[in-house]
Structure 1
Amino acid sequence: MLKKGFKMKIYPDKQKEYEKRHGQLWPEMRQMLKEHGAISYSIFIDPETDYLFGYLEIEDENKWTGTAETEINQKWWNYMKDIMETNLDNSPVTIDLKQVFEL
């Protein structure tokens, strides 16, 4: 199992909408994440800065990178682009974090 930590940022005043959309995550999206090796996936928000912290446990890095090419993920990125910082392909601007401690 591999662990990944990363940060993203939502636009000001979009916290409730971000939570709402994730509370209604499409079943096809959930299934795709599992099929691509997601064991555990959590997202936390810092309400003072609008930064998101993602924590992900995956089976295999190569399997995981395939998520970006799926039709459902492309649809999700398009759906989320109006409430968070994104790249030109609508993928979220994501900054990988380095793990420095584990108990």
Structure 2
Amino acid sequence: MKRTGIYFQLKDGAREGYVEAHKNIWPQMREVLNEAGIQNYSIWNLGQKLFAYYETEDEEQTQKVLACSEVYGRWRDMMEEFVYIEEGTGTKEWPMELVFYNQGKEREDL
């Protein structure tokens, strides 16, 4: 199982709209996430900071499904209203490296 953590940053005054959009996520978007094999997807917020976490069996296949999805593309475009985009690079998310994991049983490789 591949675990992925991603950091985002909200634009000033965008928290309420971002939260509302996720309270009303499109059913088609949920279908895309399921088709992509994304499990245990959660998004955490602290002030302007967002942390997203998900698990998938096959990250390469997950990214292929997302890249081919019109629904996912429209959702990402809508999210640009809420999240900071770095000038010059267009970067709006920063993948994070997993440095510790405790399964609570036997050690599992990172």
Mark the structure with the bigger radius of gyration. Answer: 2
**What does 1:14-93 align with in structure 2 at a 5 Å threshold?**
14-47=14-47, 50-66=48-64, 67-86=66-85, 93=92
Question: Counterpart of 1:54 in 2: which secondary structure?
Answer: strand
Which string of whole-angstrom CA distances, capped at 9 and with x for unpartnered residues, describes residues 7-58 of structure 1?
Answer: 01110111111100000000000000010110110000111xx011011111
Q: Once the two structures are aligned, what percentage of the paired residues are identical?
A: 27
Question: Counterpart of 2:100 in 1: which secondary structure?
Answer: coil
Question: Counterpart of 2:76 in 1: which secondary structure?
Answer: helix
Following TM superposition, the consecutive aligned residue runs of length 4 or more in structure 1 with deviations greater than 3 angstroms are none
- Taking only aligned residues, the RMSD between alpha carbons, in angstroms, comes to 1.8
Contact 1:84 1:92 in 2 (8 A): no
Q: Can you give the 5+ residue segments of structure 2 that lack an aligned partner in the other structure? A: 103-110
CA distance, structure 2, for counterparts of residue 39 and residue 51 of structure 1: 22
Q: How many residues align?
A: 99
TM-score (structure 2 length as normaliser):
0.82
Q: Can you give the 5+ residue segments of structure 1 that lack an aligned partner in the other structure? A: none
Q: CA, structure 1 residues 72+92, in 2 after alignment: closer, same or farther (shift >3 Å)?
A: farther
Q: CA, structure 1 residues 68+85, in 2 after alignment: closer, same or farther (shift >3 Å)?
A: farther
CA distance, structure 2, for counterparts of residue 46 and residue 26 of structure 1: 24
TM-score (structure 1 length as normaliser):
0.87
